[in-house]
Amino acid sequence: MSLLKVDDLTVYYAGEQSPALKGASFELDHGRTLGVVGESGSGKTTVALALGGLLPSGAKMKASRIELGGHDLLDISKRKWLHLRRSEVAFVFQSPVDSWNPTRVLRVQVKDALQAAGRSDDYSRLVSVLQRVGIDDPDRALGSYPHQLSGGMLQRISIAVALVHEPALLIADEPTSALDSTVQAEILEILHELRTEANLSLVIISHDLSVVSRLADEVVVMYGGRVVERGETEDVLGLPVHPYTRGLLASVPKLEGETRTPLPAMAFGEIADQGCVFATRCDLREETCLRTDPLPIEHKSGFVACGPGMEKWSKERS
């Protein structure tokens, strides 16, 4: 049974004419990891926030279905959201430093979170989780102000606090982007291990394909607020179909000295109101792409929202 099921999710921020997210659909089974990739502004964070009821006030959210662990997230009270965030879905955000109130000692902030869930043995369990994620001296770390600790330490604490109530789903929005590369690798390793240890389902959001390919079982590729391609990781990243996914993969710098092909940059406001969002940057563009929204075409384990891309792919295969 799937843990998370999202159908046709659309989000408008307050006062915006065009949606930040349009018609996104995906699902996730228990114990699996979903990677969400896409360039800046493609709507990755918006997906995460929508799943936690954390969209800023004034934002409008529509969907034909959002279910998380049997809860219908479309019809849910504020209290129920609180309850869910305390027990079912936890978050780790991009900037560890900004995730903590700069003027309060970490211990009291952590206690606020634990108290919210209201379980008595939480603090001692947190201490052991902290040790598990590599904080050798939890007491000293929690006795500090955020500015006294490194980004890596703070992100470990964020992860520990997120996991202490054993949530079914952890949503990590660019958890390593703000860290330097050695720390990045350590944090990814921790997430990788915890996934199996804690039987955790994970949504990992990143614009870094290596992060996603390392952790994710399935991938959702986003562009301009749409999901353009979805499927098993090896299918999507190994044999990409959508021209955007292909461009994304080709633009990744490679160690072996292969030349990378830069992805043409997107100009501001370039995304059209109608037709394929990627059309203006696409080398497979056809007349119809500019007029009609591409329909998702089933492909392997997932789908691709691009007719010409699918044709090209089949030709290359045969």
Partner 1 sequence: MTDTEQDSLVVGPEHENRFSSGPTANFAKGLLWLLVVVLAAVSLTFILSRVIPADPARLAAGLEAGPDQVAQVRQDLGLDKPVVVQYVNYLGGLISGDFGDSIRTRQPVINDLLEALPASLELIVVSFTMIAGLGILLGIIWAYWPRGLHSVLLRIIAVAGSAMPVFWVGLLLQVGLAANIDWLPIAGSFNHRKYGVDEITGSGLLDSLISMDTSAIVEAIRRLVLPITTIVFHNIALTMTLMRSSMSEQLQRPYVQAARARGVSESKVVTVDALRNALNPVVTMLGLQLGWSLGGVVIVEVIFSWPGIGLYAFSAFQAFDYNAIMAVTIIATASFVLINSLVNRIYRVLDPRIT
Ligand X SMILES: Nc1ncnc2c1ncn2[C@@H]1O[C@H](COP(=O)(O)OP(=O)(O)OP(=O)(O)O)[C@@H](O)[C@H]1O
Q: Which stretch binds Mg ion (CB under 5 A): 43-51, 117-125, 222-230, 277-285?
A: 43-51
By CB under 5 A, residue 45 contacts Mg ion: yes
Catalog residues that contact ligand X under the rule CB under 6 A: 13, 16, 20, 38, 40-46, 56, 207
**Residue 54 Cβ vs ligand X, minimum distance, rounded to whole Å:** 11
**Residue 267 Cβ vs ligand X, minimum distance, rounded to whole Å:** 13
By CB under 5 A, residue 42 contacts Mg ion: no
Which parts of 156-215 interact with partner 1 (CB under 8 A)?
A: 158, 161-162
Would you say 86 or 285 has its CB closer to partner 1? Answer: 86
By CB under 5 A, residue 33 contacts Mg ion: no
Task: Give yes or no for a contact between 80 and 88, defined as CB atoms under 8 angstroms apart.
Answer: no
Q: Which stretch binds partner 1 (CB under 8 A): 3-11, 94-102, 213-221, 297-305?
A: 94-102
Would you say 51 or 188 has its CB closer to ligand X? Answer: 51
Sort strands 60-62 and 2-12 into parallel, antiparallel or unpaired: antiparallel
Question: Which string of b and e fits 15-40 if b means at least 16 CB within 10 Å?
Answer: eeeebbbbbbbbbbeeebbbbbbbbe
Q: How far is CA 37 from CA 31, 121, 205, 207, in A?
A: 20, 37, 6, 5
Q: Which stretch binds partner 1 (CB under 8 A): 93-101, 192-200, 246-254, 273-281?
A: 93-101
**Residue 72 Cβ vs partner 1, minimum distance, rounded to whole Å:** 19
By CB under 8 A, residue 150 contacts partner 1: no
Total chain residues near partner 1 (CB under 8 A): 29
Binding residues for partner 1 (CB under 8 A): 49, 52, 54, 56, 78, 82, 85-86, 90-91, 93, 95, 98-104, 109, 112-113, 116-117, 145, 147, 158, 161-162
**Interface with Mg ion (CB under 5 A):** 45
